[in-house]
Amino acid sequence: MFNKRTKIKQLLNEASIGKETTVMGWVRTFRNNQFIALNDGSTNNNLQIVVELGLADEATLKRITTGASIKATGVLVESLGKGQKVELKATAIEILGDCDPEKYPLQPKKHSLEFLREIAHLRFRTNTFGAVFRVRHALAFAVHQFFNQKGFVYLHTPIITASDAEGAGEMFQVTTLPLNNLPKQSNGTIDFSDDFFGKATNLTVSGQLEGELGATAFSEIYTFGPTFRAENSNTARHLAEFWMIEPEMAFNDLEDNMNLAEEFIKYIIGYALKNNSEDIEFLDARLKEEEKSLPQDKRSEFGLIEKLEFVLNNAFERITYTEAIDILLNSSHYKKKKFKYEVSWGIDMQSEHERYLVEKHFKRPVIVTDYPKDIKAFYMRQNDDGKTVAAMDILAPGIGEIVGGSQREERLEKLETRMKEMHIPAEEMNWYLDTRRFGSVPHAGFGLGFERMVLFVTGMTNIRDVIPFARTPKNCEF
């Protein structure tokens, strides 16, 4: 058996002096031919390994370079050096894999996030990305724990579908047809009958519609999977492939939906704060350092941990879309013509508007409800005013929209009428409409963009830095 090792995190936590232990990991630095800082990814804290004179020959010492992997056995002793309580006094050192320092791109110095994005296959080995992806893991785990504790069923909705859930038409097509010689129908359009599925298909933009089928049997389900959007938005908040959590609840109205979303967000933040405090403290310090180079007015008002604790301990603001527009129209920002995009009832709020509401006006997460029906999807429940739908978006400081959801239209006739108005082919959606034909119930749900949540909790500012391998327009490396 090879894996007779103790993880560094456990070793540092227990700090059992005198214990004989084996560790394995990657060398971060090697000082004075004597002190190795070893990291195995379990924590950002390195284990100091002391290589006493005579333990290893000259040739072996030369191979202990930044990035090399080693196995070290020794005894845990109290450390006299600064920065650590314990260190490993080595009795044996074995090189597992060499790393040519001339060629290794990760030097023991600060690299820019842009540079690290280009070597995303190696960036997990840095402190920043070590912390970010351990926090990402914790958040994912907390998602499952939250819903499992509440008795929700985790439903795996399909990745390949023939429907466009959001009706937004921003889909990646899936086909096995020869692209250089597409079969055509007599009217010139593509003949999909020879395609793999015998019809046009695409990658899913949302698991919601299938989620609704589950909710109208299990009462409460959630999905957590990759979703794909071919929107050509090259921003720090958009990915072409992102992960989304979509709970769907029968017997819920818009208010139940908001309550669940708020509880859920607070739960996963609380989980990460409690279980990943070391990493979040590291990210908090990183952010403070990063912001030192910014002008005063561009810096965050709160530190990362302060911000997360504030969100945990305060109710989200809840306002209607109509109230939001009024706030914007009455703001001095608007009067001084500081918004780039127009403000009037009916607009799809731009990120500058959302951020004004959250960061300048309320200074906390805001849930905006009851949007104009014309800017929202066909499945949202129509309000009695004939103009708005029972939608809700949650806007978060520094991020903008983090959740989008709604109460669903459960009345068959109203749904069919709306689909007709929006040119959604009802014949292809019979399976969906069946939920409204056979024991329809009031129900609601929402989608949380997982990467936007990870941005919020880690204080990172570019969405490319919180997913292992980002897919964005003109970029599909690794």
Query: Which of ligand 4AD, Mg ion, none sits in contact with 26, Cβ below 5 to 8 A by type?
Result: none
Can you tell me which residue has the tokens 């409690």?
274
Select the residue interacting with ligand 4AD from 126, 447, 455, 458 (CB under 6 A): 447
Q: Over the range 301-318, which residues count as b (16 or more CB within 10 Å of their CB) and which as e? A: eeebbebbeebeeeebbb
Smallest distance from the beta carbon of 211 to ligand 4AD, in angstroms? 7
Q: Which of residues 377-416 bind ligand 4AD (CB under 6 A)?
A: 401-406
Select the residue interacting with ligand 4AD from 446, 457, 459, 460 (CB under 6 A): 446
**Strands 317-320, 366-372: pairing kind:** parallel
- Rounded Cα–Cα distance for residues 134 and 370 (Å): 37
Smallest distance from the beta carbon of 321 to Mg ion, in angstroms? 13
Smallest distance from the beta carbon of 327 to ligand 4AD, in angstroms? 21
Smallest distance from the beta carbon of 237 to ligand 4AD, in angstroms? 6
Residue 155: other Cβ atoms inside 10 A? 21
Residue 139 tokens, joined: 């958040």
Q: Are 378 and 406 contacting, i.e. CB atoms less than 8 angstroms apart?
A: no
> Using the rule CB under 6 A, is 261 a contact of ligand 4AD?
no
Smallest distance from the beta carbon of 405 to Mg ion, in angstroms? 9
Three-state SS at 135: helix
Q: Which of residues 73-102 bind Mg ion (CB under 5 A)?
A: none
Q: CA torsion 420→426→430→431, rounded to 10°?
A: -80
- Rounded Cα–Cα distance for residues 20 and 73 (Å): 7
> Using the rule CB under 6 A, is 244 a contact of ligand 4AD?
yes
Continuous H helices in 276-336:
277-291, 304-313, 321-329, 332-335
Smallest distance from the beta carbon of 57 to ligand 4AD, in angstroms? 53
Query: Which of ligand 4AD, Mg ion, none sits in contact with 397, Cβ below 5 to 8 A by type?
Result: none
Residues 6+ apart with CB under 8 A from 22: 4, 5, 6, 71, 72, 73
On the CB side of 118, CA atoms within 13 Å amount to: 6
Q: Which of residues 369-428 bind Mg ion (CB under 5 A)?
A: 404
Q: Which is nearer to ligand 4AD, 36 or 265 (CB)?
A: 265
Query: Which of Mg ion, ligand 4AD, none sits in contact with 242, Cβ below 5 to 8 A by type?
Result: ligand 4AD
Continuous H helices in 193-242:
208-218
> Using the rule CB under 6 A, is 166 a contact of ligand 4AD?
yes
- Rounded Cα–Cα distance for residues 323 and 268 (Å): 29
Q: Which of residues 183-242 bind ligand 4AD (CB under 6 A)?
A: 206, 208, 229, 231, 238-239, 242
Q: How many residues bind ligand 4AD (CB under 6 A)?
A: 23
- Rounded Cα–Cα distance for residues 430 and 436 (Å): 10
Residue 261 tokens, joined: 């979303």
Query: Which of ligand 4AD, Mg ion, none sits in contact with 222, Cβ below 5 to 8 A by type?
Result: none
> Using the rule CB under 5 A, is 214 a contact of Mg ion?
no
Q: Which is nearer to ligand 4AD, 95 or 319 (CB)?
A: 319
Binding stretches for ligand 4AD (CB under 6 A): 165-166, 206, 208, 229, 231, 238-239, 242, 244, 246, 401-406, 445-447, 449, 451-452
